[in-house]
């Protein structure tokens, strides 16, 4: 099935999911979310792909949130739909490969929530991030109330959500909402650099580190520490741990196999 609302491309070991509705500032309608899920399923099967980058087409917008035209038709039952936007972003957060949001402009509402579901966020200096849902008399409902508070702290999250105020890229770095902000012309290259750094690590360690952080922060400290310990036990028995430690001792570059 060809995609109409996203582009799925690969470059080296990276898959790019590019939201392709620039005329609507890459607003996320249902069709776009369905295509994203389909693309994630396809990429999961591609062993040669090590990481996924989300971005938006054009220079203005990463994603301007849920499609407001479609929101006009939504009922309470739609908000409770177990396959809705919240589900899609949970799928992204727990995705089997690392994910990077390449934020090339506005990341608002569901667009900001998409970025927050990714493991790493790199923004261009012209990016603007925010959760303006209260302007529509709804709330951030795709994980925004939870993930923003966890990323920037409760006080800043409440300020952003209750006022609908946008953050510019510098402020987003300052509050830990994005890891860095780079000039628009350097954004793609920087994301490739970050991805290739991650891909130089042992894939099993990457998977288990991601899982330990995401799941650990959703549970109590004791359970999180046990999860970390069990993940480490798996890694201590792995070929890649032998390779990594030997390569260090032999002063050579490690070659990891993912087992």
Q: Given the rule CB under 6 A, which residues bind ligand CO8?
A: 24-25, 27, 60-61, 64-69, 79, 84-85, 106, 108-110, 132-133, 136, 140-142
Whether 93 is catalytic is no
Distance CA 18, CA 190 (A): 17
Kindly report the three-state secondary structure assignment for every residue of 214-228.
Answer: HHHCCCCHHHHHHHH
Whether 243 is catalytic is no
Question: Residue with CB nearest ligand CO8?
Answer: 109
**DSSP single-letter state for residue 135:** G
Q: Between residues 106 and 256, which has the closer beta carbon with respect to ligand CO8? A: 106
Distance CA 85, CA 98 (A): 20
Q: Which one from 7, 45, 133, 185 is the annotated catalytic residue?
A: 133
Closest CB 165 distance from ligand CO8, rounded Å: 13
Closest CB 116 distance from ligand CO8, rounded Å: 12
Q: Between residues 30 and 207, which has the closer beta carbon with respect to ligand CO8? A: 30
Q: Which one from 113, 193, 228, 250 is the annotated catalytic residue?
A: 113
Among candidates 82, 171, 79, 214, which has minimal Cα distance to 133? Answer: 79
Q: Between residues 91 and 201, which has the closer beta carbon with respect to ligand CO8? A: 91
* DSSP string across 20-44: --GGGTT-B-HHHHHHHHHHHHHHH
Catalytic residues: 113, 133
């Amino acid at each position: 099935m060809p995609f109409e609302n996203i582009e799925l491309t690969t470059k080296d070991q990276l898959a790019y999911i590019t939201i392709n509705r620039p005329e609507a500032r890459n607003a996320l309608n249902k069709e776009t979310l369905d295509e994203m899920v389909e693309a994630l399923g396809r990429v999961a099967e591609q062993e040669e792909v090590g990481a996924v980058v989300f971005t938006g087409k054009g220079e203005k917008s990463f994603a301007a949130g849920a499609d407001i035209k479609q929101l006009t038709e939504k009922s309470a039952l739609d908000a409770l739909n177990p396959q809705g936007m919240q589900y899609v972003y949970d799928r992204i957060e727990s995705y089997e490969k690392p994910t990077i949001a390449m934020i090339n402009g506005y990341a608002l509402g569901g667009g900001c929530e998409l970025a927050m579901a990714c493991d790493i966020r790199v923004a261009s200096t012209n990016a603007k991030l925010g959760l303006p849902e209260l302007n529509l008399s709804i709330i951030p409902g795709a994980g925004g109330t939870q993930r923003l508070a966890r990323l920037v702290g409760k006080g800043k999250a409440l300020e952003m959500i209750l006022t609908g105020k946008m953050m510019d890229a510098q402020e987003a770095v300052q509050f830990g909402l994005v890891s860095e902000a780079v000039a628009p012309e350097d954004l793609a290259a920087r994301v490739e650099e970050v991805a290739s750094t991650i891909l130089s690590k042992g894939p099993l360690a990457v998977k288990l580190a991601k899982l330990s952080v995401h799941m650990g922060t959703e549970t109590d400290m004791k359970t999180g520490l046990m999860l970390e310990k069990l993940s480490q036990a798996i890694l201590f028995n792995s070929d890649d741990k032998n390779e990594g430690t030997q390569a260090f001792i032999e002063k050579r570059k490690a070659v990891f196999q993912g087992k």
